[in-house]
Structure 1
Amino acid sequence: MTASASPPAETIAVIGLGYVGLPLAVALARHFDVLGFDIDQVRVDELRQGEDRTREIEPDALRVSSLRLSADPADLPGKTVYIVTVPTPVDDKNAPDLGPVRAASRTVGHALRQAPMPQAVVVYESTVYPGVTEDICGPILEQESGLACGRDFFLGYSPERINPGDKVHTVDKITKVVAGQTPDIAARLERIYGKITSGGIHLAPTIKTAEAAKVIENAQRDINIAFVNEIAMIFGKLGISTYDVLEAAGTKWNFLKFQPGLVGGHCIGVDPYYLAHRAEELGHHARIILSGRAINDGMSAYIGEAISARIRPSSNILVLGLTFKEDVPDLRNSKVADLIGSLRRLGHKVSVHDPLADPHEAQHEYGVMLSPRLDQLADFDAVIAAVPHQQYRAINRAELARLVRDGGMVADLKGIWRGQKIPAGRQYWTL
């Protein structure tokens, strides 16, 4: 009896080398022949030098990786698996912007046309609403390749779960949700992703199920944060510290521990709009989802007005932090930028410091000039701890006394200085 032939070795291309694609490509390259592709030649050149501006992958890990890098679409044909990890933003009306996903699909479709591989699979990791992979991306791939979806090539979906700056829940440790167009394709993707993670694989029954699972993960967090932001507004009117209330309530075993603040970034501040958009197409108005988004999107203006009401007109304010979350350089959809705009519209002069943000990107994206040295700044009417970077958490009482003039205000949005004594003569405010 002849033994059955082993399946051919997979050759993989990861399309998009940002926060999601690069860690995935590096992990896959430990087990497969992997090409990392990005349309940004500068990004590719940096990675070749071992420099990852996202700080997700250490330089040594990049240098020893077998991952090949390219910005040339001519290197894409001939792969057995294509994994798309491009961004899925919203436009200025908060409608889904599928431009990057469509463009990536055209690029992959062209590669499939040039060198069709039997049973090639195109997997999407980008966060989308249910139906995008099969109803939008599939037809684009067919049009560009001249091949039939479900016969000549197949679709898959495996939602990304990258949490920027998180060194614990990395792609090689988390549970990976996987779905395929057919049971055989799902099993194949289970084998591929199973090679890179110790967290196990969850096989979703359909691609739409996997798409829906991803989009509600972030919508759920958004709604919970919106609730805490709303109670922060209520408790502010009562003169109660929200953090004190949460600390007390958190002693109950099943209390969900969320904190108030600005909700930006490329996931929680964006993904709920994808689900709401699809709901509207189906004739359902997503009231809870959109109410949560309205509360969270309005927090920058609320905080700006609350601070402005407590300081003198035309104050000189220092904002600490511009990135969308602590200890990462990611500036995408930063709501701190909205807070800065609110304060300026209220007549205040605002300086900004962030040790991790790229000064050129800050200027390009938000028109914000970053102050280069915190130790050279002093005597502001108000200092706002907007992003709890480690450097700011380490600021002591003497440094606060230097930064904030006598009679000035310390606005501590995330409660990072609640445990220390604020310098005499300065008022302290938090959510």
Structure 2
Amino acid sequence: MNFSNIYLELIAGQAKLALVGLGYVGMPIAVEFAKHVPVIGFDINEKRISEYRKGIDATNEVGAAIAQTTVDFTADASRLKEARFIIVAVPTPVNEDTTPDLRPIEGAARTVGENLSPGTIVVFESTVYPGVTEDICIPLIEQYSRLKCGVDWKIGYSPERINPGDRVHTLTSVVKVVSGMDEESSREIKKVYDIIIKAGTHPVSTIKTAEAVKVVENSQRDINIAFVNEVAMMCDRMHIDTAEVIEGMNTKWNALGFRPGLVGGHCIGVDPYYLTNAAEKLGYHSQIILNGRKVNDSMGAYVADAAIKQMIEAGMAPKKATVLILGITFKENCPDTRNSKVADIINRLQEFEIDPVVADSWADSDVAKEAYGVDLVPADDLPKADCVIVAVGHKEYRSMSMMQLKKLFKPELSDSEKVLIDVKSLYRKDELEASGMRYWRL
């Protein structure tokens, strides 16, 4: 079986590339490849496929480009038989006990196996611990295709590095790590990704190495954020402004620039568990990574407790207070609500019989309701509040003046009774102090 002609056939329009999974990762990849080669975009979510066909991009990752793309969107898995290069980009979440939930990737492997044509290269992009591609995905694809890996088809791994909502570090401008099961597949996978990755590709020697790259790079980031979150909690007790400390620290050349905050999303809040779970199976218990996760997973409750304390000090009864939370997505300027730690703030407040009002113009109200049981309130219908928690740094919240913020509160409150919780330190300290409001920021 000849695998060395796949790149040339794709460029010539004689072969097709397919994407399995068209969410925040798969859809932008499909759209970018479609500028150069024939692409089939497959997803089991028929509603999502229907929206893409109508030119609607709910992820907001490619925007208007979705209407002009030549991607052949489909919910028919049999169309994968037409492809000679298949990229799998499905979610890899964790279970409630933080163990890896491999059901989506196992389902994708079965689907690929049932619709695999001989002579195809399959590349997984989903974040997994080292060994999943070869130990779990290959056997499943072989079982359902009855084709032998390395003979009838080949496999590789290239960890996704898409950062939802980021308009600077885009798909094409970030170096792509690539790997294959052997020299031939690695070489061909590199050539195919080089079609779209302007920043270039970085081949590594094995699939397991590539898998490790992804979980390690996100675990490193998680630990660094845990450090500044711990610093923030210390500074809070010492009555020192954390943001000012970090700004001073960042004047040194080797400062890393991390800031405290809620660590959610589909990568940083999840990937460390994939790494530590794999290590546990080999008899190694994480000394640092899991402690970093413990710190970061506690921050939502910490913010909620700070809000309650500030309300009490302002002379109000928290149970009777109207608490407004601005933002529920896991990061700013992005509609992605997966694993949002704002939910932890909400849950903690509810433990004290406080049912907050939540608003977020970026988030899908149906998704927020399904995932967190939250009814998002439109900006025009917001009640006047006793306490406002600005939880996400969306541009419309970041640009609000002190006067605009004050208008969110009940008019009968004096400035000193208005409690503002600035989770992301969006507002200048001098302006906050001059406003007369009671404020707290992480």
Query: TM-score, normalization: structure 1?
Result: 0.95
Q: What is the rounded CA distance, in whole Å, between the counterparts of 1:94 and 1:128 in structure 2?
A: 14
Change (3 A) 1:424 1:80: closer
Is the 2:328–2:391 Cα contact (8 Å) retained in structure 1?
yes
Deviation at 1:401, TM superposition (A): 1.6
Counterpart of 2:420 in 1: which secondary structure?
strand
Aligned partners of 2:8 and 2:322: how far apart in 1?
66
Is the partner of 2:115 in helix, strand or coil?
Answer: helix
1:136-160 deviations in Å (ceiling 9; x for gaps):
1000011001111111111100110
In structure 1, what is the equivalent of residue 332 of structure 2?
A: 326
Counterpart residue number, 2:301: 301
Q: Letter of the 1:417 partner, please give it.
A: Y
Q: Distance in 1 between matches of 2:8 and 2:192?
A: 12
Task: For residue 421 of structure 1, give the secondary structure of its aligned residue in structure 2.
Answer: helix
Give 3-state SS (helix, strand or coil) of 1:105's partner. helix
SS of residue in 2 equivalent to 1:309: helix
Q: Deviation string for 1:113-134 (max 9, x for gaps)?
A: xxx322x111000000000000
Question: Once the two structures are aligned, what percentage of the paired residues are identical?
Answer: 48
Indicate how the Cα distance of structure 1 residues 74 and 247 shifts in structure 2: closer, same or farther if over 3 A, else same.
Answer: same
Partner residue of 1:111? 115
Question: Per the alignment, do residues 400 and 158 of structure 1 end up closer, same or farther by CA in structure 2, a change over 3 Å counting?
Answer: same
1:229: Cα distance to partner? 0.5
Partners of 1:324 and 1:62 in 2: CA distance: 24
Per the alignment, residue 376 of structure 2 pairs with 370
Deviation at 1:361, TM superposition (A): 1.2
Stretch moving more, 306-315 or 375-384: 375-384
Number of residue-to-residue matches in the alignment = 422
For residue 378 of structure 1, report the CA deviation from its aligned partner. 5.2
SS of residue in 2 equivalent to 1:12: strand
Amino acid at match of 2:228: V
Mapped contact 2:310–2:438 kept (Cα < 8 A): no
| CA deviation vs aligned residue, 1:328-387 (integer Å, no higher than 9, x gap) | 0111001001101101212323111111111111111111111102x5535411111100
For 1:91, the aligned partner's letter is N
3-state secondary structure, aligned to 2:196: coil
Contact kept, 8 Å, 1:56 with 1:164, in 2: the verdict is yes
* Alpha-carbon distance between aligned partners in 2 of 1:150 and 1:211, rounded to the nearest angstrom: 19
Q: What residue is the counterpart of 2:366 in the other structure?
A: 360
Partner of 2:266 in structure 1?
266
1:144-155 paired onto structure 2 within 5 Å: 144-155=144-155
Task: Tell me the alpha carbon deviations over residues 279-328 of structure 1, each in whole angstroms, 9 at most, x when there is no partner.
Answer: 00000001211000000001111111122112133121111100000000
Matched, 1:395 2:400: yes
Q: Quote the residue 1:126 is aligned against.
A: 126
SS for the counterpart of 1:191 is helix
Task: Select which of 13, 16, 26 maps to 2:18.
Answer: 13
Q: Give yes or no for contact 1:397–1:420 (8 Å, CA) kept in 2.
A: no
1:121 is paired with a residue whose SS is strand
Amino acid at match of 2:387: A
Tell me which residue corresponds to 2:228.
228
Q: Which amino acid aligns with 2:21?
A: G
Letter in 2 for 1:338: D
AA of the residue aligned to 1:403 = L
- The answer as to whether partners of 2:384 and 2:408 remain within 8 angstroms in 1 is yes
Distance in 2 separating the partners of 1:277 and 1:349: 35
Distance of 1:320 and 1:146 partners within structure 2: 52
Inter-partner Cα distance in structure 2 for 1:371 and 1:107: 39
Q: In the alignment, what sits opposite 2:418?
A: 408
CA contact 1:38–1:44 (8 Å) conserved in 2: yes
AA of the residue aligned to 1:362? A
Q: Which amino acid aligns with 2:266?
A: H
| TM-score using structure 2 length | 0.93
Assess if the C-alpha contact under 8 Å between 2:420 and 2:440 holds in 1: yes
Query: What residue in structure 2 maps to residue 252 of structure 1?
Result: 252
The letter for the 1-side match of 2:382 is L
8 Å Cα contact 2:56-2:67 kept in structure 1: no
CA distance in 1, matches of 2:239, 2:42: 53
Residue 106 of structure 2: aligned partner: 102
Q: Once the 2 structures are TM-superposed, how far is the Cα of residue 420 of structure 1 from its aligned partner?
A: 5.8
Aligned to 1:63: 67
Superposition deviation, residue 64 in structure 1: 2.0
Q: CA shift at 1:8, angstroms? A: 3.5
Deviations 1:215-268 (A, max 9, x none): 111100000000001111111110011101001111000011111111000000
2:47 to 18, 42, 51: 42
Query: Which residue identity is paired with 1:330?
Result: D
**C-alpha deviations, 1:55-114, integer Å up to 9, x for none?**
00122x1222221110011211131111100000001111000000000000000002xx
Asked if the contact 1:378/1:402 (under 8 Å) is kept, the reply is no
- Can you give the 5+ residue segments of structure 2 that lack an aligned partner in the other structure? none
Tell me the residue number matched to 2:438. Answer: 427
Give unmatched runs, 5+ long, in structure 1. none
